[in-house]
Amino acid sequence: MPFVSIRGVALHHRYIEASGTARPIIFINSLGTDFRIWDDVVARLEGEMPMLVYDKRGHGLSDIGGGVRSIDDHADDLNALIDHFGFDKVVLCGLSVGGMVAQGLYARRPDLVEALILSDTAHKIGTAESWNSRIATVERDGIEAIADGVLKVWFTPDFHANRPADLAGCRNMLTRQALPGYTGTCMAVRDADFTDSARRIAVPTLCIVGDQDGSTPPDLVRALADLIPGARFEVIRGAGHISCIEQPDALVSLIRDFVASLPEGKHAHG
């Protein structure tokens, strides 16, 4: 069970090595999840490229440290994690708030980022009112109070009907998150706006969305892709907000194709 101390915070992570010179890909979770959401993706890509998954501060088994106030808190952790592993350049694959963390890191340290995969995310997500309402509800009644509504946007009606055990497990993952990590990250998303910085992204970028994503709908993710010069936009059929769980084969196919299209180059791991 690997933990590493990053900026005074114990971060739970898993590094999957691969032979050759493939660039490392780092997966960044959505709000209210831990790195197990990537299990099906990692299993399919194992051996093809080095991969790092980790629990953001305040999520999963990671510490919260001094708390979370902004996307920069998560981006600074990721920056330090990259330095810890000695990567010179990485591909970032972020889901939802994870995609905002990826955008935040790129804005601060473009030299570290080879390419971006932005899954079910946007330059700006929700309104101050919607986030403040969610924060007030969970502070008063717990994450349990919003769980059903969250699961409706996470997964399609088909998933709800046909994968009850998986649905129950995802509900457990959500409701067992530490409240301060959840609400702090809600505040971080509420206050984040990458509209201007998205226009300055100058690395290959793939924007992906589930066709039934109720959290960051296809039109919103397309708007992000339209802001980023030369970005690719892809829709995964039969997926809600968390396509890495619902349609891992489709997501892996897109990741594999995108990574194969990147310029060749040796990428160090110290």
pLDDT of residue 22: 82
Q: Indicate the average pLDDT of the chain.
A: 95
Going edge to edge, which strands form the sheet with 3-6? Answer: 3-6, 9-16, 51-54, 25-28, 90-95, 113-119, 205-210, 232-236
Measured over the CA atoms of residue 101, residue 107, residue 109 and residue 111, the dihedral's sign is positive
pLDDT of residue 136: 98
Band (203; pLDDT cuts 50, 70, 90)? very high
> Using an 8 Å Cβ cutoff, are 56 and 33 in contact?
no
H or E, element range at 179:
helix 179-191
pLDDT of residue 267: 47
Which of 7-21, 196-210, 249-263 is predicted with the least confidence, judged by mean pLDDT?
7-21
> Using an 8 Å Cβ cutoff, are 170 and 153 in contact?
no
pLDDT of residue 265: 52
Q: In the 3-class helix/strand/coil scheme, how is 54-97 assigned residue by residue? A: ECCCCCCCCCCCCCCCCHHHHHHHHHHHHHHHCECCEEEEEECH
CA distance linking residue 102 with residue 92, whole number of Å:
6
Tens of pLDDT, residue by residue over 223-269, are 999 999 999 999 999 999 999 999 999 999 999 999 999 987 544 44
> Using an 8 Å Cβ cutoff, are 145 and 171 in contact?
no
Tens of pLDDT, residue by residue over 136-180, are 999 999 999 999 999 999 999 999 999 999 999 999 999 999 999
Rg (CA), the chain: 17
Predicted TM-score (pTM) of the model is 0.96
Q: Which domains does the chain have, with CATH numbers?
A: 3-260 (3.40.50.1820)
